[in-house]
Each structure stands twice: as structure tokens, then as C-alpha cells.
Amino acid sequence: RKEVEQDPGPFNVPEGATVAFNCTYSNSASQSFFWYRQDCRKEPKLLMSVYSSGNEDGRFTAQLNRASQYISLLIRDSKLSDSATYLCVASSASKIIFGSGTRLSIRP
């Protein structure tokens, strides 16, 4: 079983739609959680950190459920420019583990 699991997708949704991704992690010692965005053939870039209380940044909302060990990302009013792979990350004091990513494609 992978330490961080994501649905690989692809999610293919129309512009303006709301889309949600989930990610589960197996290491209960994980302390910090992040969502990264990776465009084709580019490096991962931090989208947002995920806090226990949930946090929002514009159209993006992240939630953490420690009891069930999952993290979610919600994108509202999706734009064409949101098309990318979204990587979930769980880190402890000694390890950072990436999920394999969920591919999102926004169509006009």
C-alpha cells in the first residue's frame, strides 16, 4: 500500500465547474500537509498548505481529517489554467511523501 494515495484521474470537467480531490495517508506521525500543482514537464509548485481547521485561498479550499487520515482539495469556478496535476504531500519530522498526483483537465 502506498503511503500517500490519490485517485490518478484524469478528471475532465467543464470550465466553471467545481471539482474535488481526495488524498489518504497511512503514516499517523504525519504532521504537515500540502497540495502542490505540477504542470507538464515543470517542477511542482506549492498551491497551499493544509491546516487542521481547513483553509481557503480564493477559489481553493483544503481540508484535513486527521481521524480518517485524509486531505481534500476543492476548486470552485474552475478555469482553463487550472489544468495540471495536483500532488498531495504528507510530511513528518523525518519524511516527506508525495502522492502520485491527480490529473485535472478543464475543457472550454
Partner 1 sequence: DAMVIQNPRYQVTQFGKPVTLSCSQTLNHNVMYWYQQKSSQAPKLLFHYYDKDFNNEADTPDNFQSRRPNTSFCFLDIRSPGLGDAAMYLCATSKRAGGALETQYFGPGTRLLVL
Q: Which residues bind partner 1 (CB under 8 A)?
A: 4, 8, 31-32, 34, 41-46, 49, 87, 89, 91-101
Q: How far is the CB of 28 from partner 1 (least distance, A)?
A: 15
Could you give the CA distance from residue 21 to residue 29 in angstroms, rounded to a whole number? 22
Q: How far is the CB of 6 from partner 1 (least distance, A)?
A: 9
Comparing CB distances to partner 1, the nearer of 17 and 96 is 96
Dihedral sign for Cα 65, 70, 71, 72, please.
negative
Comparing CB distances to partner 1, the nearer of 39 and 77 is 39
DSSP tag of 3: S
Q: How far is the CB of 108 from partner 1 (least distance, A)?
A: 25
Comparing CB distances to partner 1, the nearer of 2 and 14 is 2
DSSP, residue by residue, 6-51: E----EEEETT--EEEEEEE--TT--EEEEEEE-TTS--EEEEEE-
